[in-house]
Amino acid sequence: MKIIVLGSAAGGGFPQWNCNCRNCAGVRKGTVRATPRTQSSIAVSSNGDDWVLINASPDILAQIRATPALQPARARRDSGIAAVMLLDAQIDHVTGLLMLREGKRIPLYCTASVWSDLTTALPLAPVLSHYCGVAWHELALPPLQVPGIEHIRFTAIALSSKAPPYSPHRQHPQTGDNIGLLIEDTVSGKALFYAPGLGALTGPVEAAMRAADCLLVDGTFWHADEMIEQELSSKRAEDMGHLPQTGAQGMVAVLDAIGARRKVLIHINNTNPILDEDSQQRATLTKHGIEVAFDGMEITL
């Protein structure tokens, strides 16, 4: 199983277009050693030619240009994207669908609650019906396989997080608003757990983490009050549905408890000090055996 990290940043990317925090200003001026990142998305394949795009970032066109495997050129017009799978209905995970409108009908896998948001609150599906169109497949809790993607099984794991601000159930969470994915290679037996938006550790989430050989999980904020302290928001990490890295119940502690396996943070907000490769926080992650995802990162399981 091959995994390519197409984008590794949280919404807005890094540097964010209008942000002058230490990280964003520093990477523009060259005073902070950090790598620019697009908004988070990954692609998964068993043969290197046909891929499931997991989350469709607004940066998808730049990500395709940077990833030759997604443009195999087998025909006059072609794409390596065999299907799209969505973990939630957040703007930074779904609006890239509009950039795929010149292609064929999009096989789209998502939960019923996400599909509801995409047909009403943020009606991308009705809009796309005037272009390529969308063929919806419900992503429910039983494992499934995607036609054309051999030997890979996808299992949805319900997450404790937040529906988008525009969702009618933002304050009334429904099962399926946010999911993680346990992605298994049925030949090698290897597995990846992917959860870029993770608000709390639950029994099913912990079980999926322990079943995986590689964890690609929420790295949005270093600490809970990060946005408040930088005067960029009045919300804590938990208010936005993200588990910060620090604290007794934070992501570093969670990953330490899970034990030996490959551990990688993704969906990193532009304010997070781990983006600075020379920071004490980045050194702390290294000490704990935790990697930071970057655009173009490849993982083979």
| CB-CB neighbours of 135 under 10 Å | 12
Asked whether 118 and 94 are in contact (CB, 8 A), the reply is yes
Residue 260 has a pLDDT of: 84
- Torsion angle of C-alpha atoms 212, 217, 223, 225, degrees rounded to 10: -130
2-300 CATH pick, 3.60.15.10, 3.20.20.70, 2.40.160.10, 1.10.510.10: 3.60.15.10
Residue 274 has a pLDDT of: 98
Residue 241 has a pLDDT of: 76
Residue 229 has a pLDDT of: 85
Q: What residues of the chain score a pLDDT lower than 50? A: none
User: 134 pairs with which residues across the strands?
Assistant: 106
Helix (H/G/I), strand (E/B), else coil: 43: strand
* C-beta pairs of 236-242 under 8 Å, 24+ apart in sequence: 238/199, 240/162, 241/160, 241/161, 241/162, 241/178, 241/197, 241/199, 242/161, 242/197, 242/198, 242/199, 242/218
| DSSP designation for 26 | H
Q: Where are the domains of the chain?
A: 2-300
Closest CA to 293 of 23, 41, 11, 31: 41
| CB-CB neighbours of 148 under 10 Å | 14
The span from the CA of 230 to the CA of 215, in Å, is 29
Residue 69 has a pLDDT of: 95
CA angle 276–282–287, rounded 5-degree value: 165
Tokens of 156: 């949805």
pTM above 0.85, yes or no: yes
| CB-CB neighbours of 26 under 10 Å | 17
